[in-house]
Amino acid sequence: MEYSTLGNSDLKLSAIAYGAFAIGGNMWGGNEQKDSIDAVKASIDNGVTTLDTAPFYGFGLSEEMIGKAIKGYDRSKIQLLTKFGLVWDGSNNGKGEFYFDSENAGKKVSVYKYASKANVIKEAEESLRRLGTDYIDLLQIHWPDNTTPIAETMEALGLLIQQGKIRAAGVSNYSVAQVMEARKTLDISSNQVSYSMLNRNIESDLVPYAKKNNVGVIAYSPMERGLLTGKYFKDGKLKENDHRNSYFQQFNLEKVNIFLDTIAPIADAKKATLSQLVLRWTNLQPAVTVVLAGTRNAAQAVANAQAMDINITQEEMQMIANALSKI
């Protein structure tokens, strides 16, 4: 495993991080808790020491399972990344920005983006409790809240740093303009954004900005929620409540399938899976410090960690780029 410093922070993060969205269950068709915890442990045991979660993932369940999974490990060797700013329990008292309706334990819940100073501090305390720790390595706003001044949110993060409750602060899904506004108040360390072979929008603005200003890029959805594994084209049936049934429709699936068939020989020659090739490719992109990879079981966790053992030559990178240009 490779480890890199995140932006201007003193955090050394594993190049592949465990992405804990799916183990929360909501929107993903569910998962066995034992399998999820085993996956976290297998990740850590194979060098993936960076774990990324959020209160919204399973409405607290994902953080709780991460907390259970890390018991018995040296906390100083694990980096916990979590978020704030998505509220579903009505504690925002109607404030904030309505995001969407979801379901929790069979009941409809309305999710709001809400990042007031008081809410940031409140959510941080709740995350500390669920994770069973006294500090968070990186705390990130989950989505921009257009009803709260960015400066107010950043002030709250700065206070949490001063109190020793978080080691560093970051943002997620921020535009370059929003990152610039945030940095007027607090020198944030990172921006977590969607980035994959099929979604390279950040290359035109965020990547050059991040490189110039020492802001780490944490890439999520590198596998496009499993589409780039190729499994969907072999067994495309998903559970009825799996959000990917609609998510995948944004892509030209025929061209994606052809693309995967084109690059498969590169993976085969390295005795690697498509997933491992895709993860390694993503890790090698400019400004990307960490690549998030979700897993549902221990075997997948080990495979993700082993992606960092793959060497991709410049010639092979160009072959992939040529194939991508045809999607």
pLDDT per position as a tens digit, 79-105: 999 999 999 988 888 899 999 888 887
Q: What local confidence, expressed as pLDDT, does residue 251 receive?
A: 83
- Is the whole-model pTM more than 0.85? yes
From 77, 20, 15, 79, select the one nearest 310 (Cα to Cα): 15
Return left, alpha or beta for 87; rule: phi > 0 is left, psi -120 to 50 is alpha, else beta.
Answer: beta
Q: Which residue has the higher pLDDT, 106 or 48?
A: 48
β-bridge pairing 288-294 and 216-220: parallel
Question: Using CA atoms, how far apart are residues 43 and 25, in angstroms rounded to an integer?
Answer: 19
Clarify whether 18 is annotated catalytic: no
Tens-digit pLDDT profile for residues 5-29: 999 999 999 999 999 987 755 443 4
Return left, alpha or beta for 30; rule: phi > 0 is left, psi -120 to 50 is alpha, else beta.
Answer: left
- 145 pLDDT band (50/70/90 cuts)? very high
Question: Which of 57-61, 73-77, 114-118 is predicted least confidently?
Answer: 57-61
Mean pLDDT to the nearest integer, 140-156: 98
Question: Using CA atoms, how far apart are residues 32 and 13, in angstroms rounded to an integer?
Answer: 27
- Exactly one of 3, 18, 57, 114 is catalytic; which is it? 57
Q: What is the DSSP letter of 142?
A: S
Q: What local confidence, expressed as pLDDT, does residue 244 receive?
A: 76
Q: What local confidence, expressed as pLDDT, does residue 130 receive?
A: 97
Tens-digit pLDDT profile for residues 243-264: 777 788 888 888 888 999 999 9
Q: What local confidence, expressed as pLDDT, does residue 93 receive?
A: 85
Q: What local confidence, expressed as pLDDT, does residue 233 receive?
A: 77
Q: Are 154 and 185 contacting, i.e. CB atoms less than 8 angstroms apart?
A: yes
Tens-digit pLDDT profile for residues 289-310: 999 998 888 999 999 999 999 9
Mean pLDDT to the nearest integer, 232-237: 71
Q: What are phi and psi of 315, to 5 degrees?
A: -65, -40
pLDDT beyond 70 at 227: yes
CATH class of 3-224+273-310: alpha beta
Q: What local confidence, expressed as pLDDT, does residue 27 receive?
A: 42
Domains of the chain, by residue range, sit at: 3-224+273-310
Residues 292, 43, 242, CA angle at the centre, nearest 5°?
55
β-bridge pairing 107-113 and 97-104: antiparallel
The pair of three-digit structure tokens given for residue 243, joined into one six-digit string: 């959000």
